[in-house]
Amino acid sequence: MAEWTEEVTQVAGSNLAIVKGGQGKPLLVLHEELGHPGWLSWHAALAKDHTLIIPIQPGLGKSPKIDWIRNIHELALWYSWAVRDLNVAPLDVIGFSVGGWVAAEMATANSKQFRKMVLVAPAGIKPPDGEIMDCFSVTARTSLNASVYDAEATPEFAKLYGGERTPEQFEAFEDARTENARLTWEPIMNNPSLEHLLPGISGLPTQIIWGREDAVVPVSAAECFRKGLSKTEAKLTIFDQCGHRPEIEKSAEFIKLVREFLA
């Protein structure tokens, strides 16, 4: 049997492509700004205990663009509507980069829709030290290479992004970059109000995960998220010799940490 399936369903006034796989309690997976990377080892590991629900962001893949969504906050409100229509709340959530930003925005609007939350190197807050990388002013290849600390030591990075890109991969990357640039351009990859809204979240166990050598969203932002989520008693784990993708750079440690937290 296939590990996962993809289907298009009508929710929140639009069509939405959703990848599903696994068994057990539902886990909402919010992918990064380049889209769903494919079914990786961490997906397979978490799918042993959870039914992974991976919505493909509007404007990417088979999910049509929604013109009235103009920023990440509005996207988060729309996803909350979709979760209500899917009738799966309360559920666990894990978000990566911009997907982590979306999850945090969703929690500020209604933390009760989630049981536990995992944020993996989320964008959304301007770091006190360093700058969020402007991924949209450079090529996709340049931003990808900057997203890991040691590409040669990260087997799944080569699996995902090694070799020559097919025309289909190039088009998918550029569609994702175009849509997310539209939503996150000014200010670049952050919402000045998010840091002030996070303290309104309580009663939502949260695990924050970061790579110390993250060149996309500097690790200094990690403490901003931890402090903002103080009422959730958020836990912060920082992996050394790791960039923006701990899920593939420190895969074994990442899987163990997330499975134990969500258990």
Q: What is the largest CA-CA distance in the chain?
A: 48
Rounded Cα–Cα distance for residues 171 and 35 (Å): 12
Rounded Cα–Cα distance for residues 34 and 52 (Å): 19
Instruction: Read off the amino acid at residue 48.
Output: K
3-state secondary structure string, 179-195? HHHHHHCCCCCECCCHH
Q: Which residue range forms the structural domain that includes residue 17?
A: 4-262
Number of domains in the chain: 1
pLDDT in tens, 209-221: 999 999 999 999 9
Cβ atoms of 46 and 27 within 8 Å: the answer is: yes
User: What average pLDDT does the structure give for the chain?
Assistant: 95
State the pLDDT at residue 103: 98
- Would you say residue 200 has pLDDT above 90? yes
Cβ atoms of 59 and 65 within 8 Å: the answer is: yes
Q: What pairing do the DSSP bridges indicate for beta strands 50-55 and 25-30?
A: parallel
State the pLDDT at residue 1: 47
pLDDT in tens, 66-116: 999 999 999 999 999 999 999 999 999 999 999 999 999 999 999 999 999
Q: What is the DSSP letter of 234?
A: -
CATH classification at residue 181: 3.40.50.1820
CB atoms within 10 A of CB 167: 7
CB atoms within 10 A of CB 205: 17
- The residue with tokens 């590990």 is 3
Q: What is the DSSP letter of 136?
A: T
Banded model confidence at residue 141, pLDDT cuts 50, 70, 90: confident
pTM: 0.97
Rounded Cα–Cα distance for residues 139 and 236 (Å): 31
